[in-house]
Every structure is written in C-alpha cells, then in structure tokens.
C-alpha cells in the first residue's frame, strides 16, 4: 500500500471516499471510488443502500471537518465541481478472493522503510515495492482512491482487517519480515493460504476465521482515522490470541 501524505491529492481522494462511505450504514454492500481529475472530481460508486445521499451537504461537511488536512485546491472551489455517479439499490456480490501483504511494523499495512521515510518527511507519499517510490501530486494526471478506502466490510475490507489481526498475533520469537495472505470470503478456514509454509498450519490451528466479532467492532470505527493517523493502529486488531505457539 502507499503511505499517503496529508495534503496530497492521493490522500484527499482516499479520505473523501471513506468519508462518503461513513454516510452509508456499514451492513450495506458498498464500493465508492473518488477520482481527482484536477479540474473536477468524479464520484463513482455502487451500493445496496436505497436512500440517496445529499452530496452537496456531504462535500461541505467534509471540507469543514478536514480543512487542516486538505490541499488548497480542495479547500477552494474545486470540490464543488463534482460528477456524482453513485448507483443505489444495486446488487453487489462479495469479493471472493482477497490477497494482502502485511509487514512486521506498528501498522502492518506499511513497511518500516515507508514508515521511517514518513516520519522524516510527511509532506510526501511513499509506495514500497521492493524499493521506496516517492509519489508527488504531479506523478500522475489523475488520482483515484484505492482499496481499502471506499470499500465496505463485505467488499474485502473485513478480510483485510482479519489478516492484520493474524499478523499482530504472530509471536515475536518467530521473526518474519512480511507475510502475504489469501483470505477468501467463502470457507476461509479451508481455503486460507499464506506465503510462509511454517506459519500455515499454526494459523489454521489457532484461528477459526469467524469474523463476526471483528465485524461488530469495526462497524463502530470512523474509517477516516486510518488516514489521518496512518502510523497508529486500532487496538481491536491487536487483540491477543492465547497460547499461539509456533
């Protein structure tokens, strides 16, 4: 994942996508994607929710609540130039396969190289793909919000959180730099895969993949906090499993 700098275009579209998502009941199936096209914003989405959102009110509330985080081009008139293409009352199938990579850091979504770079200079966004890549506002012509931002729990976000829960429970005595997991939405206890063969059996022994408790907890969360406090982690995800021995 890219570690986003506050006041960057990438940060803004992700934050706005999650802000809109927070306006829809979390038991609904929803995908919201926000695209910054420089001279206007495109809001594309699909949801099982039936009630139309008042996007004008949402935009104004967003600008006021997150004024300190937003780039100048958003705090001005630009965000008033939007195209709203959200489709309501639509059937959406759950994502079946979800592949995530986690790191042995305070927030396992980000590699320690990203985290260290961010702590040094948080005016820049960083992507880690075997090397540190700086993402500036001029890197791309458009910026689109990215998973998990704008995605509801039923669209892979719950599995993403459960993978973090597993990662934080790996005993410190078993040092691992990073770990890729495939956590399917259907029968995950039977179809779970991970990139470390030594961990596969212990994980299957210790985790029942019943995510109902985690779903209940994550419905209470303001998902925008994942962006405004990127190096902090939700304490629920660090709940310890007893007797996890490898």
- Sequence-distant (6+) residues with CB within 8 A of 245 are 171, 202
The pTM of this model reads 0.93
Residue 210 CB partners (closer than 8 Å, separation 6+): none
Condensed to tens digits (0 to 9), the pLDDT of residues 29-70 reads 999 999 998 888 999 999 999 999 999 999 999 989 998 888
| Residues contacting residue 53 through CB under 8 Å, at least 6 positions apart | 20, 23, 24, 86
For residue 148, cis peptide bond before it (omega within 30 degrees of 0)? yes
Domain ranges in the chain are 2-238
Q: What is the pLDDT of residues 105-118, one digit of tens each?
A: 999 999 988 998 88
Distance CA(11)–CA(164), nearest Å, equals 21
| Mean predicted confidence (pLDDT) in 160-176 | 94
**What values do phi and psi take at 56, rounded to 5?**
-65, -45
What is the per-residue pLDDT across 199-221, written as a single tens digit (0 to 9) for each? 999 999 999 999 999 999 999 99
């Amino acid at each position: 994942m890219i570690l986003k700098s506050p006041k960057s275009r990438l940060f803004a579209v992700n934050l706005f996508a999650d802000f809109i998502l927070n306006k829809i009941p979390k038991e609904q199936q929803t995908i919201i994607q926000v695209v910054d096209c420089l001279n206007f914003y495109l809001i594309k989405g699909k949801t099982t929710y039936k009630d139309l959102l008042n996007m004008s009110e949402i935009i104004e509330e967003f600008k006021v609540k997150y004024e300190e985080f937003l780039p100048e081009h958003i705090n001005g008139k630009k965000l008033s130039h939007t195209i709203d293409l959200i489709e309501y009352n639509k059937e959406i199938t759950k994502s079946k396969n979800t592949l995530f990579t986690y790191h042995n850091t305070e927030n396992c979504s980000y590699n320690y190289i990203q985290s260290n770079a961010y702590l040094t200079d948080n005016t820049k966004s960083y992507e880690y793909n075997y090397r540190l890549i700086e993402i500036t506002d001029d890197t791309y012509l458009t910026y689109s919000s990215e998973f998990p931002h704008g995605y509801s729990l039923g669209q892979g976000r719950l599995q993403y959180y459960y993978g973090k829960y597993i990662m934080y429970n790996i005993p410190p005595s078993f040092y691992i730099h990073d770990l890729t997991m495939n956590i399917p939405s259907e029968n995950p206890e039977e179809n779970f895969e991970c990139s470390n063969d030594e961990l596969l059996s212990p994980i299957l022994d210790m985790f029942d993949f019943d995510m109902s408790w985690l779903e209940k907890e994550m419905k209470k969360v303001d998902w925008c906090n994942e962006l405004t406090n990127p190096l902090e982690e939700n304490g629920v995800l660090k709940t310890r499993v007893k007797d996890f021995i490898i």
